[in-house]
Amino acid sequence: MKLIYAPLLFLCAASAAVSAQAADEALPAAETILDRFIEVTGGKTAYEKRKTEVVTGAVEFAAAGIKGSVVSYAEEPSKYYSALDIPGVGKVEMGVNNGVAWEMSALMGARIKTGEERNQALREARMNAPYHWRELYSKADTAGVETVNGDECFRVVLTPKEGKPETMFFSKKSGLMRKTAMVASSPMGDVPAEILADDYKDFGGLLAPAKTTQKAAGQEFTVTVESVKVNEAIPPDRFAMPDEVKALLKK
């Protein structure tokens, strides 16, 4: 009996190993997936032409019946400012300039981001970030296939030069990114978060999601883009840090 079963077990193990190897070979390299995303969203030339960007949109916390507005300004290479305004709650401002990442709100006052929270803010502030993925991440691996909202996607794990890995999901069919999953650093500690991207539209020569759904810390809200202005002059003081943040830098 041993002479019969041992070869069978060996063949089963060998078959599983061959199948696993074939599955790995069937997955495209992460850099191929990421570069395809650049191409399907507009191509390298379109990204290189984009020097400034002003985005306005609407924010909705549907479960709480709360709505607000958001506006963001970006300028190459890494100047960034955004303001979220919710009636009855107040305004939350965030910015990045000269390597300083900051936030100010009525609830928490002014603060300067440090550590991993700062690293994440700097990556997010990098204008045309998809085009500069090699600059922002030291490693990228295709980890498998997963379905996101009915769309079969390649799962790509990107490891930044500093900080925790982020996972992005790219449609096998269209090449567009459908979801990002990460562990976000915040004053409350590490918070698992995900962002779903939907309704891609052409905004100034580049395809981008007109709607994103963000989930973190038991909260869910959507951001709907209303307008995108590209390559318009942005006053330098738009990126200036508030006096309250400057005061913290002096301490």
pLDDT, one tens digit per residue, over 46-96 is 999 999 999 999 999 988 889 999 999 999 999 999 999 998 888 999 999
Confidence of residue 163 (pLDDT cuts 50, 70, 90): confident
Taking the CB of residue 241, how many other CB atoms lie within 10 A of it? 21
Asked whether the beta carbons of 111 and 251 are under 8 A apart, the reply is no
The model's pTM is: 0.86
Structure tokens at 207: 């395809």
Taking the CB of residue 114, how many other CB atoms lie within 10 A of it? 10
What domains are defined for the chain?
Answer: 28-250 (2.50.20.10)
d(CA 77, CA 127): 6
More confident residue, 9 or 219: 219
Q: What percent of the chain has pLDDT over 90?
A: 77
Q: Could you report the per-residue pLDDT of 138-157, keeping only the tens digit for each?
A: 999 999 999 999 999 999 99
d(CA 66, CA 8): 63
- The pLDDT of residue 137 is 96
- The pLDDT of residue 206 is 96
Asked whether the beta carbons of 205 and 53 are under 8 A apart, the reply is no
In angstroms, the Cα distances linking 232 to 52, 80, 113, 205, 229 are: 6, 15, 29, 14, 7
Q: Could you report the per-residue pLDDT of 168-216, keeping only the tens digit for each?
A: 999 999 999 999 999 988 887 889 999 999 999 999 999 999 999 999 8
Phi–psi pair at 79, nearest 5 degrees: -90, 135
Q: Could you report the per-residue pLDDT of 26-52, keeping only the tens digit for each?
A: 899 999 999 999 999 999 999 999 999
One-letter amino acid for residue 214 of the chain: Q
d(CA 47, CA 206): 7
Q: Could you report the per-residue pLDDT of 4-27, keeping only the tens digit for each?
A: 334 444 334 434 443 444 444 589
Peptide bond connecting 77 to the previous residue in cis, omega within 30 degrees of 0: yes
Give the max Cα distance, the chain.
83
The label of the residue with tokens 């996101």 reads: 148
Print burial letters for 172-210: b (CB count within 10 Å at least 16), e (below 16): eeebbbbbbbbbbbeeeeeeebbbbbeebeebeebbbbb
- The pLDDT of residue 19 is 40
Strand blocks (E) in 125-218: 137-148, 151-160, 166-171, 177-186, 189-203, 206-216
- The pLDDT of residue 8 is 40
d(CA 149, CA 163): 28
- The pLDDT of residue 11 is 37
- The pLDDT of residue 162 is 83
d(CA 220, CA 205): 30
- The pLDDT of residue 108 is 86
d(CA 72, CA 57): 9
- The pLDDT of residue 185 is 86
